[in-house]
Amino acid sequence: MKTAPPHTGHPTWDGPEHRYFVLRTGDGSPTVAHARPGASVPGEPMHSSMGAWAETDYVYGHALRFALERGWPRRLLVVGLGLGYVEARAAAIWAADTGGTPPRGTGAHPRGATDTCILSFESDLFLREALPRWLADPTHTRVPEALRATYADVFAREGAAAAGQLRAFLASGAWRLVDALHERALTAETQHSVAFGAAAAGDPADTQQKVAFTVIAFDAYSGNTSPDLWDEAFLGRFLDRFAAPECVLATYAFKGALRRALESRGFTVERRPGFGAKRECTLAWRVGGA
């Protein structure tokens, strides 16, 4: 990918479908906005202008710690990989935990090979491929220089252990990066299509394992950009497919459709103060099953 000359004072590069702009947020951490090829003005940024890292920790780090304190298996689903902030935050929190591996095979979580796994949905193929390339080789020439520097900035905030854990998860098949979340991901025909561990390496013994997640980081673009992902009926099917009996979900917004979908499936919904310019955000949990 050729790095494009800056048009707004921000580093930019061109991908196959978008022009990307690196923006500095209020806590000094970077975020990215993309626009049509050749555009001179960034589109919707991925994070709050008040702080990309701080927002990630406030909204999603809180949920990760909620699950960790309860000893739930480390099964994280992220809607919106972006720059990998949520995955990096999870890896750092898990690496720093001195309590060891969470209990296995107890309560609502059957013992299995997927006690630690991450599933990341991302519609942008360029970003979906770029982060694993950078983790494997921070000088990878297929990752533009401005993006290499951005990843280095993101992961410097989490420490070397976070990048190391994610590299290990990729190598073992415990972290899968897949295409955009959409209706097909929820159907019976495709519900077993995402495999972890041995199944990701082609072991037929694990191919029919249906993984449910204890932490859901719903970091999709806003309803203005991605209205289908915030539809109540879709959210209900999404929760039915991916939420474990004991589960915590967090997102940067508070929407009635999401609240209703959660409450109808046994979640307690907390309306937290929002981060930055957001008035409210959502933390919801289901303990002991619905």
Of 106, 110, 107, which is closest to residue 287 (Cα–Cα)? 107
Predicted confidence (pLDDT) per residue in 186-195, tens digit: 654 444 345 6
**What pLDDT does 223 receive?**
77
Q: What's the mean pLDDT in 141-151?
A: 96
What average pLDDT score do residues 29-55 get? Answer: 92
**Maximum Cα–Cα distance for the chain, whole Å?**
55
Pull the structure tokens for residue 249: 């979900």
CATH superfamily of 49-101+111-286: Vaccinia Virus protein VP39 (3.40.50.150)
Q: What angle do CA 80, 81, 84 make, to 5 degrees?
A: 140
pTM beyond 0.85: the answer is yes
Instruction: Using alpha carbons only, give the angle 34, 136, 42 rounded to the nearest 5 degrees.
Output: 10
CA 172 to centroid of chain Cα atoms: 19
263: DSSP letter: H
The lowest-confidence range among 68-72, 110-114, 117-121, 273-277 is 110-114
- Which DSSP symbol is given to 192? T
DSSP H helices in 80-214: 85-96, 125-136, 145-156, 160-172
pLDDT at 5: 40
User: What residues contact 159, with CB distance under 8 A and at least 6 apart?
Assistant: 92, 95
pLDDT greater than 60 at residue 8: no
**What's the average model confidence in pLDDT over 12-38?**
92
Least confident range of 41-55, 165-179, 185-199, 202-216: 185-199
| Annotated domain spans of the chain | 49-101+111-286
Q: Is 78 helix (H, G, I), strand (E, B) or coil?
A: strand
Asked if 167 and 174 count as a contact pair (C-beta separation under 8 A), the reply is: no
Q: What average pLDDT does the chain have? A: 85
pLDDT at 10: 79
